[in-house]
Structure 1
Amino acid sequence: MRTHVEETRKLSDSNFNDLRTLLNAVPGQIDYILEQYTRTKEKAFDDLDNINLLLGGSIYERLKPKVLPVLKDIKALAEDMKTNRATLARVNTLLTDMKQSSAHLRTSLRDMKTSMEQTLTDPQCSFPVTATTCASIRQSLNVLDGSANFDQLPSLDGHIAHLDGLLQTDLSGLVQKANDSLSDIPGEVKNQTRDFISEFKKTLNSIQSDVKNVSTKIPIQKTLSNFVRYVNNSEDYILHYLPTVEKCNSYRWLVCLTICCLLTLILIFYLLGLLCGTLGYDQNATPTNRGCVSNTGGVLLMVGVGFSFFFSWIVMTIVVLTFVTGGNLENLVCEPYRNKKFFQILDTPYLLNEDWEYYLSGLVLNKPDINLTFEQVYSDCKENKGLYATLKLDHIYNVSEELNITKHTGDINSNLENMNLRINDIELLDKTGRKTLMDISSSGIGKIDYAAYINATEGSPTRVNLMSFADNLQRKANQLPPGTLKTSLKDHVDTLRNIHQNQVVPLQNSMSIMHQQMKGLHHRTSRLRDRVSNIIFFLNSTQYFLTSQLAKVVIEESKQFGSKIISYFERYLQWVRMAVTQQIAACKPAATALDSAVNVFLCSYIVDPLNLFWFGIGKATVLLLPALIFAVKLAKYLRRMYSEDVYEDEPVHKVQSKPRVQTIPRVQTVPMVQTVPMKTMRHANTRSRVEQGTQTI
């Protein structure tokens, strides 16, 4: 207890520091709430400054899936028409070259055939040895002819000229113009909302002043200022009386120490008496002949008995006083405080004030009919709830009504509705562009006889492969005997190979290129009319959407943008309401201070040690009674006696007569004891038994 009382000053300082921290933190918490509004406002300002990207960009994103595919198709069609025109021009050039090349090839092969026929008229072919070979060569000359004839393929100049007229209208440029109009929406939104943003920022600044006024009107600080007075008075009271308590505790400590020392002294006498009596006891010694050690043990036991009689009333008085104090405090204060029945007693209606139903609500709110109890306040503070909700300060100032979302965001909504954002109608394609699309559909490029061009370029320029023919001719020439015939045939072989390399291969390459070009062109133009029809359909549909729905899209996106701005302040105001009602001035230090005062200081520091003290001293006092009895009974077997009692047995026939008691007179020296012939019984006593009619022996 002494140690705990010495720690009281440290405990009180700690609790008062916590309470002052609670009191001093409230202004900072309110400033923090206002600072969070500044951050919210800055976030809204940032969105307003980027309205071209947020609102304009959202409008653009809404229109893009509708508009861009159509513009992309028109641009792709324009690019395809340019590609088709280039393909037609290249095919037309190839056709001209191929007609000239095929005519030249036919002439070369015809000349080659005539020359070889003249060579075969050589007299050497009449010899039986060479006649068969010459006949075979002569028969093979029938296949030496050009099979490719492109004169029947018509020229493509008319189609090229028609496409040149269509391509004078720059469809790609018109598409880019529509794209630019769509991309200009964010900038147009920025320009139209410049004045609106300025006014809107003023509205947000005015809301900040409203929130500041609400924060200053919350009665938490007023309640805490009243609480400060109680805290200061309590601290002054404790600091004033704590030295007195410490001084009185010193006296209490001395008294308790004295009582414990007295009990210890009695115990020491008993223990020394037992020790000396045990060590000095001789069962053969007569009571008057007992040793000094045994006699000292008996004396010490009787001294302990004397101290027990002398001080026991003091100890019992101390036990009674401490029992009444500590037991009642434990049962009336500590135990009810732990199970909260103490608060239930305080919350009994009209107990503390006969005019108030609820004392705490009458004291704090000046409204005694509000159900505000000590138990509820204590439980809320233990959970570290805010003082506003704990003390039900909403009956004085309703923060929920003052921080009504609609009340503070109504101006924002009205400003957003007055934004009056207008986006000019976007024309995807003008009349010229639409006419060009229709002309492309009827350009006739899809009616070209692609089959004729493809079939004409599928075969070979010659009826026979000139290289194979030349190889076969050389093999046959090698069978001939040397001479002019053989030499001429080998020259013809070289000429055929030159014709194949210089005329057939280029012509064949041109035919392959034309074949691929015409197949690709046919693929691109086979469904040109349907393609243009689909483009025109979606163009009209998209243009109708822009004309009829653009304003609606702008309004929807504007509302969504406004809702996003409002959501910042809705979340902020909700957070303010939650912070004010649950977090500002969290009152756990108050519950901790009350626990420290009652549960720790009063019960743990004082009542529990006090109860332990009276219980221990009381138990010792109870044990004094059997100790006293045993000590008195035991001392007569240990102390040295001044006289002895001798008992003589009478004869058997005189057994009913009373025994004769012989008293040994007190002698200054060693007492003399007469021995009798009969059996005697000696009994040591603290006094001599004197009977009527005794005789002196």
Structure 2
Amino acid sequence: MNTMMNTRSRMKGLFWSGFLPLFLWTSVSGQPSCPIESNRTDLQTSYEIPTKLNFNSAFMSPIVHSFLGSVQPNPFPKDLLITMIKNKFSTDRVKEVLLYEIGFLVCVAIGILYIVLMPLIGLIFACCRCCGNCGGRMQQKQTTNIHCKRRSLYLATFFITVLILAGNVCMFLSSTNASETVMRSPKEATDILENVKGYLNTIPKQIEQVTNESYVTVDIVKNNLNETGPLLGKLIQNGLKGPLDPAFNSITEIAQVINGTSSELLKLNKTLELLKPKVDVLKANLSAVRQRINNTLHMSDCVNCTSQLPELDKLSLEGSLDFPDQNDLRSAVDKAINADVIGQANKGRDFFDSIPAKVKNETRLSVQVALFQLETLKTQISGVTKGLPLDVLKTISAPLTEIQKSITSVSPHIEKSSQISLAVGLVLSCLILLVVICNFLGLLLGVAGLNPKDNPSERSSTSNCGGIFFMAGVGFSFLVSWIFMLVVLILFIVGGNTYTLVCKPWQNQELFQLIDTPGLIPGFNLSTALNLNTNLNIANVYSDCQKNKPLWTTFHLNEIFDLNSKLDVSQYTHEIDQTFEGAQINIANITILSPEVKSQLNNFSSSASNMKFSNIIQQINDVSGTNLSSVAESLDILAGKQSNQAIKNELLREASDLRDIQTGVTSNIMPLLLELNTTIKNLSVVAAQITAAVGNVFIKVGYAQDVLNYNISQIVKAESRAFIDCQLKIFQTFLYWVNKTITERVGRCRPAAAAVDRSEELVCKHLVESLNAFWLSLGWCMMFLIPSIILSVKLAKYYRRMKYSDVYENNKFMMNPFPKAHLKPELLENGKQPFT
């Protein structure tokens, strides 16, 4: 008992010096992390970033850009346009416009000159031909290099015709692309506007989603506070579980030891009750036989009987099976059982399980106050997004809808105009193609039907048709070229200036800078509209949107909306914190083991340690080792040596009695002795562990009791602090998410920049580029029609059938003889003789 108390004192000192601080630290820092929801749903999007159009019309863009760059090398006239838009016209401004457009004016002058001269020259050429001049006379001079000239003219005409055909193909493709662009423009424009509207409509939804997340967060904290008993009680239980569970488990184990000891003692007493009567009978019978053997061996006629007297000592059971009294141990076990040790453990477990209910009762008022604060906090957080300037989005979205309706209404007219433009382009291409076909037929038929040795007046019909096709192409060129040049001139002025004044500055953002000019558009100022101190312009907005920045950054909304102050909920969270800080959670203490139970356990341990189970086992072994059969065999041998029949018979009868007694021991006593031996060994094993088990109970229960006596309030306070910090941390995490979402994710404006880019692609890279490619291709054809006319006229005479012959032979010209009256004066003047 003194040893146990000394151990108890040493353990208590060790607890206060080292284990308690360690336990305090682990009970707070080792708790599970606060379950904060970090995976929130992605912001909604109801728009798509437009992709590039899937048809190509910019195959001639490099040539067009190079030509227009040469025609208009001047930079974008921002200042001039600003002055003109503000209605400040003067002579100087007109001069500046003309000077800026000098390249276009030169090209226009060339075009006008072409339009005027081409039909005039064609008329003069036709009249001259009718008079027999300009190659109109059907006679071809024969020279030594005539064939070389014909071949050179042929190759030059073929090359020029190929160039015209190439321009015609480009013209056809450009016309097709332009018509396709016009056809698709209503749908593309509607899609662009729909994406912009979808983007504008998504922003309020994203803001609403942020607000809904705030409701969810507040509801999570409210649910946690409503479940303060289970949640906080569980935390407190986790803080107490470390010391209490081992104590309760050790009490349960010692209760099982007590019950096991009681059971073994019952078995021991039962076995002894059965064994003692049989042992007493054995002793009586053995004593009687021993007395008879002793009498027989002392008879005078017994031969060698005195040598058997030492064997009589083996027949004595005096002092065997003299077991010690187990009343003390039985009494200690009974008292320990009556002390209801297991009931003490169950009582402690009931106390442990009742902690959540006690916490709920103790924090009921604090929870009600906190819930009221949370409702106010919910209203505060939901109002965060109400100050954002979302009405501007509605004012922008409404006109877009009207524009969509307007586009839809004029869409049939646009489709019709697309068909008309396609038909016009096809007709123009076919007219140019007609000239090309005439040239190619002339080249083909002329070569096919020409025999260089034939007389020019005797050329074949095939060759003559070739020459006629050349002249048909020339005539058709004169008829339509000036009209085509008029088309080129109009489209050049429109498309060229659209590219240089709209598309090119749109691409390099100079157009945005023009729009940003203060006062250019009355009432248009982003900074004023948003009440910003920063000078906000469209160029910067477009640049930020190309980088997919949020509206908060793009429009500098931090200048008009103090998000940090709106998200400052520290007042409410502080009140919630103070409410729970002032709450006192009192958990009534309990005594795990009463002094009476401890006394019974000490008594039980002492009684078990006083039992001498080794002596009992030795006695059992002595009884089990008794062998009466050996003595009986000695008596049988001794009886064989006797001459006296009566003595012999007596010895044999006594040997038989010993065998009978041995048989009774084996069949009746030995099983009980074996059972008794097993019971004693089990008791000895249990008894050897009782002292250590009881000591373990005292140590663990003492440790747990010290925690309950001196530290439970600190544990409750620490776990309550952790619980409230967890709820406040949920708010802090949510507010961080709100701040980051609004400032970094809401309204990422890449769709707006993509809509502008796609509009520029549709207008400039497809419509304007196709239009410019068309007039450049058509102008290309018109320029090469001039050498085509000249070459075709010259080459036609080499294939057409002449009326007059002119033969070169032996370095002399010879002509057919005609009457002098019919000879041309020029022939006589040249001294030529008639051909014979």
CA 1:411–1:186: 2 relative to 1, 3 Å:
same
Query: 1:225 aligned to 2:430?
Result: no
Alignment equivalent of 1:628, drawn from 746, 767, 789: 789
Counterpart for residue 456 of structure 2: 287
Q: TM-score, normalised by structure 1?
A: 0.78
What do the CA deviations read for 1:446-501 (whole angstroms, capped 9, x no partner)? 23444433433333345x423565578779989999x9888776765654344234
More contact order relative to length (CA 8 Å, sep ≥ 6): 2
CA 1:317–1:175: 2 relative to 1, 3 Å:
same
Q: 1:17 deviation in Å?
A: 2.9
Residues 339-354 of structure 1: matches in 2 within 5 Å?
Answer: 341-342=508-509, 345=510, 352-353=517-518
Counterpart for residue 742 of structure 2: 580
Q: 1:695 deviation in Å?
A: 8.1
Query: Which amino acid is 1:362 matched to?
Result: S
Select between 275-284 and 512-521 the one with higher mean Cα deviation: 512-521
Question: Contact 1:99 / 1:149 at 8 angstroms: preserved in 2?
Answer: no
CA 1:60–1:292: 2 relative to 1, 3 Å:
closer
Query: 1:206 aligned to 2:376?
Result: yes
What do the CA deviations read for 1:540-565 (whole angstroms, capped 9, x no partner)? 43322222211111112112222333
Counterpart for residue 66 of structure 1: 243
Alignment equivalent of 1:142, drawn from 306, 312, 318: 312
Alignment equivalent of 1:260, drawn from 403, 416, 429: 429
Query: CA separation in 2, counterparts of 1:7 and 1:480?
Result: 145
Residues 216-615 of structure 1: matches in 2 within 5 Å?
Answer: 216-219=386-389, 221-232=390-401, 234-235=403-404, 238=407, 249=418, 252-319=421-488, 321-323=490-492, 325-326=494-495, 329=498, 334=503, 341-342=508-509, 345=510, 352-353=517-518, 361-362=526-527, 365-367=530-532, 369-370=534-535, 374=539, 377=542, 380=545, 383=548, 386-404=550-568, 406=570, 409-437=573-601, 439-440=603-604, 443-461=606-624, 464-467=626-629, 492=654, 495-503=657-665, 506-526=668-688, 532=694, 535-599=697-761, 601-615=762-776
Query: Which amino acid is 1:210 matched to?
Result: Q
Q: 1:539 deviation in Å?
A: 3.4
Query: Which amino acid is 1:261 matched to?
Result: C
Q: 1:606 deviation in Å?
A: 0.8
Query: 1:179 aligned to 2:349?
Result: yes
Query: CA separation in 2, counterparts of 1:614 and 1:27?
Result: 48
1:564 is paired with a residue whose SS is: helix
CA 1:332–1:493: 2 relative to 1, 3 Å:
farther
Q: Identical aligned pairs, as a percentage?
A: 25
What do the CA deviations read for 1:42-88 (whole angstroms, capped 9, x no partner)? 43344334333221122122212202322333443355345445655
Counterpart for residue 681 of structure 1: none
Query: CA separation in 1, counterparts of 2:228 and 2:659?
Result: 77
1:173 is paired with a residue whose SS is: helix
Q: 1:108 deviation in Å?
A: 1.8
Query: CA separation in 2, counterparts of 1:84 and 1:216?
Result: 77
Q: 1:341 deviation in Å?
A: 2.7
Query: Which amino acid is 2:609 matched to?
Result: G
Question: Contact 1:218 / 1:399 at 8 angstroms: preserved in 2?
Answer: no
CA 1:632–1:461: 2 relative to 1, 3 Å:
closer
Q: 1:146 deviation in Å?
A: 3.4
Query: CA separation in 2, counterparts of 1:578 and 1:353?
Result: 34
Query: Which amino acid is 2:742 matched to?
Result: V
Query: CA separation in 1, counterparts of 2:425 and 2:382?
Result: 61
Q: 1:265 deviation in Å?
A: 1.9
What do the CA deviations read for 1:99-154 (whole angstroms, capped 9, x no partner)? 6654543332232234456678999x98xxxx79x899x56843541346247654
Question: Contact 2:321 / 2:620 at 8 angstroms: preserved in 1?
Answer: no
Select between 206-215 and 493-502 the one with higher mean Cα deviation: 493-502
Query: CA separation in 1, counterparts of 2:495 and 2:630?
Result: 133
Question: Contact 1:52 / 1:189 at 8 angstroms: preserved in 2?
Answer: yes
Query: Which amino acid is 1:54 matched to?
Result: L
Counterpart for residue 129 of structure 2: none
Counterpart for residue 653 of structure 1: none
CA 1:666–1:140: 2 relative to 1, 3 Å:
farther
CA 1:302–1:490: 2 relative to 1, 3 Å:
farther
Counterpart for residue 289 of structure 2: 112
Question: Contact 2:261 / 2:683 at 8 angstroms: preserved in 1?
Answer: yes
Counterpart for residue 48 of structure 1: 225
Query: Which amino acid is 2:465 matched to?
Result: T
Alignment equivalent of 1:14, drawn from 157, 182, 191: 191
CA 1:82–1:276: 2 relative to 1, 3 Å:
closer
Question: Contact 1:33 / 1:576 at 8 angstroms: preserved in 2?
Answer: yes
Query: Which amino acid is 2:628 matched to?
Result: L
Query: Which amino acid is 1:295 matched to?
Result: N
Query: Which amino acid is 2:705 matched to?
Result: Q
Counterpart for residue 680 of structure 1: none
1:13 is paired with a residue whose SS is: helix
Query: 1:193 aligned to 2:344?
Result: no
CA 1:107–1:572: 2 relative to 1, 3 Å:
same
1:639 is paired with a residue whose SS is: coil
Q: 1:248 deviation in Å?
A: 5.4
What do the CA deviations read for 1:330-352 (whole angstroms, capped 9, x no partner)? 56655665xx632xx35659952
Query: Which amino acid is 1:191 matched to?
Result: N
What do the CA deviations read for 1:362-391 (whole angstroms, capped 9, x no partner)? 2653426256653554553674x6544443
Structure 1 residue ranges without an equivalent (≥5)? 651-658, 673-686
Residues 659-670 of structure 1: matches in 2 within 5 Å?
Answer: none
Query: Which amino acid is 2:183 matched to?
Result: E
Q: 1:167 deviation in Å?
A: 5.4
Query: CA separation in 1, counterparts of 2:465 and 2:343?
Result: 135
Q: 1:584 deviation in Å?
A: 4.2
Q: TM-score, normalised by structure 2?
A: 0.67
Select between 223-232 and 490-499 the one with higher mean Cα deviation: 490-499
Counterpart for residue 385 of structure 2: 215
Q: 1:196 deviation in Å?
A: 2.8
Query: CA separation in 1, counterparts of 2:777 and 2:642?
Result: 150
What do the CA deviations read for 1:631-657 (whole angstroms, capped 9, x no partner)? 22321112233334467989xxxxxxx
Q: 1:404 deviation in Å?
A: 3.8
Query: CA separation in 1, counterparts of 2:703 and 2:830?
Result: 154
Query: Which amino acid is 1:639 matched to?
Result: R
Structure 2 residue ranges without an equivalent (≥5)? 1-177
Q: 1:254 deviation in Å?
A: 4.9
CA 1:645–1:140: 2 relative to 1, 3 Å:
same
Query: Which amino acid is 1:52 matched to?
Result: G
How many correspondences in the alignment? 655
